[in-house]
Structure 1
Amino acid sequence: MDRALFPARLVGPTFIAIAFGMLINLGMYESIIAEALHAGILFYLSGLLSLLAGLAIINLHNTWRADWRVIITVLGWSMTIGGAIRIVALQIAIWIGSAIYRGRASTLVVAAIIGVLGALLSFKGYVGRA
């Protein structure tokens, strides 16, 4: 099996569930995001989990090819870098997060992006041929 299929099969459905959750519970997700953008144990744990998941993806699949598989590599590196920043440079991470999440419109855009990525990865992981 292509090494890209395993993370695609994990991340794809997870992203779809997150996107639907964000759209169905928009107000609650806005509150969660606002609450999460404060230094504290939740922020630290999200960084730790993101770092670990990103490193797992990079160690499993770190291939820079000009096809759909590069999405997995970019996600892995993004999670690793984002997690490390949340652990090491809390104030910078909070500043970046606050700049990105500015209310309902940004939450909807993030939900749409996550949903599209989830659908693409799920399709490639379960239906499409690598």
Structure 2
Amino acid sequence: MDLQRRIARILGPVIVAVALSEAANMDIFAEQTAPVVYLNGAVLFTAGVAILQAHAAWRRDWTVLITLAGWVLAAAGLYRLIWPRAVQATEGPATTAALLLLAAAGAYLCWRGYRR
């Protein structure tokens, strides 16, 4: 199995689970403390850099989602590391749309990773 499919098999389900669980629990984000946001940033940044180390290819096919995911994770993690006291997410149509887009991208990565 190629590297892109292996990453998609991990990244797809994780993105779907995170998007759906964040959508279901938006109220808890208003209560987060700066140290928790900072720790989350460290995890996101590490995951993003790890993905980019394994796959940083800008191709005109589905594998570009893996590269984009790596950059988004690294950027989101860096944002949370630098500004842990900033507002991270608020309920609203933009957040809902972003989470739906993430869930769809994760589902697509699942499909690409697990299909025969």
Normalised to the residue count of structure 2, the TM-score between the two structures is 0.84
Q: Are the aligned partners of 1:50 and 1:79 in contact in 2 as well (CA < 8 Å)? A: yes
What per-residue deviation string (whole Å, max 9, x for no partner) do you get for residues 41-75 of structure 1? Answer: 11110110001101110111111101110111011
Residues 50-89 of structure 1 mapped to structure 2, 5 A cutoff: 50-87=44-81, 89=82
Q: What one-letter code is carried by the residue in structure 1 that aligns with 2:73? A: M
Counterparts of 1:112 and 1:74, CA distance in 2: 16
Counterparts of 1:94 and 1:64, CA distance in 2: 31
Match in the other structure for 1:14: 14
* C-alpha RMSD of matched pairs (Å): 2.1
Gaps of 5+ in 1: none
Q: Shift of residue 110 of structure 1?
A: 2.7
Counterparts of 1:20 and 1:80, CA distance in 2: 20
Percent of residue pairs identical: 31
SS in 2 for 1:31: helix
Counterparts of 2:76 and 2:20, CA distance in 1: 23
Q: Are the aligned partners of 1:30 and 1:107 in contact in 2 as well (CA < 8 Å)? A: no
Further displaced range: 103-112 or 59-68: 103-112
- Number of residues paired by the alignment? 116
Gaps of 5+ in 2: none
Q: Shift of residue 86 of structure 1?
A: 1.9
Match in the other structure for 1:43: 37
